Amino acid sequence: MVTQIKTSKDVAEFAKQIICEDVSFHPNNDLNNYVVIKTNKPCYTKNQAEVRNKLMNKCFSVCEKEGTDIYAIMLEVCLIETGMDKFIPLPSAVYSE
């Protein structure tokens, strides 16, 4: 699990982690609010969501400091990880495995 965000590469890895946890997310949204559709139960415990929210806040800080677009990074990761990049053009070339 990603435990710290220091670079835009870490931002991409964090996005990949959330996607691998089967959560379709938006960077602006509180991770406390996500639920598993089949069960209507939270995706994360309160503590798990708070840890991820803090990491997300750090993602915003790092991207602002580096002058990178958090939305483009996370969208690109999402498209690649879900295979949707075959149908939807990538927003940038910032993420590479």
Q: What are phi and psi of 28, to 5 degrees?
A: -80, -15
For residue 1, pLDDT beyond 80: yes
Q: Tokens for 66, please give them.
A: 């580096």
| Cβ–Cβ < 8 Å for 32, 93 | no
Q: Residue 94 has what pLDDT?
A: 58
| Measured CA distances, 12 to 35, 45, 78 (Å) | 23, 23, 9
Confidence at 76, pLDDT banded by 50, 70, 90 = very high
CA angle, residues 86, 92, 95, in degrees to nearest 5 = 85
Confidence at 91, pLDDT banded by 50, 70, 90 = confident
pTM of the complete model: 0.90
**Which residue ranges make up each domain of the chain?**
8-86
